[in-house]
Structure 1
Amino acid sequence: MFTSLIGRPVLSISEGSDQCTVGSLFCLWGSDDQVSFEVNLDSVARSGVRIHPSVLQLSRRKPAAP
């Protein structure tokens, strides 16, 4: 599905799955009392979708690689 959307400004959101690393722009993660999200910056850069910097700051930050 994602290959047919390359070059088109489409916002894609996945929920806690492998699609987060494949092509979704946003990945939702839920626990008992909260929902968080990650942003796939590679997919955002290729998508043509513009995301406000404030939204990027809200996303869950991944720890830096050693």
Structure 2
Amino acid sequence: MTKDRGTAGPIGEEAIGARLKALYEELEREPLPTIFVDLLEKLDRAEMAAANGAPSHAKRKRSEEAD
């Protein structure tokens, strides 16, 4: 015999929802890893250079100098 793997039911769904919410809130409180902050800053610099019309090699050189 196999167990029915249908829906969790209203009580099960509420428990799953509450646990997912708690996990998400915990994740929100964690600091952003430095590598992501660095990547976002590089992206900002590249977008600003592109908006100012800098040639692609100049954008890359400025980005490398900032590192």
* More contact order relative to length (CA 8 Å, sep ≥ 6): 1
| Higher share in helix | 2
Larger radius of gyration: 2
Greater share of strand residues, 1 or 2? 1
TM-score (norm 1): 0.21
**TM-score, length-normalised on structure 2?**
0.20
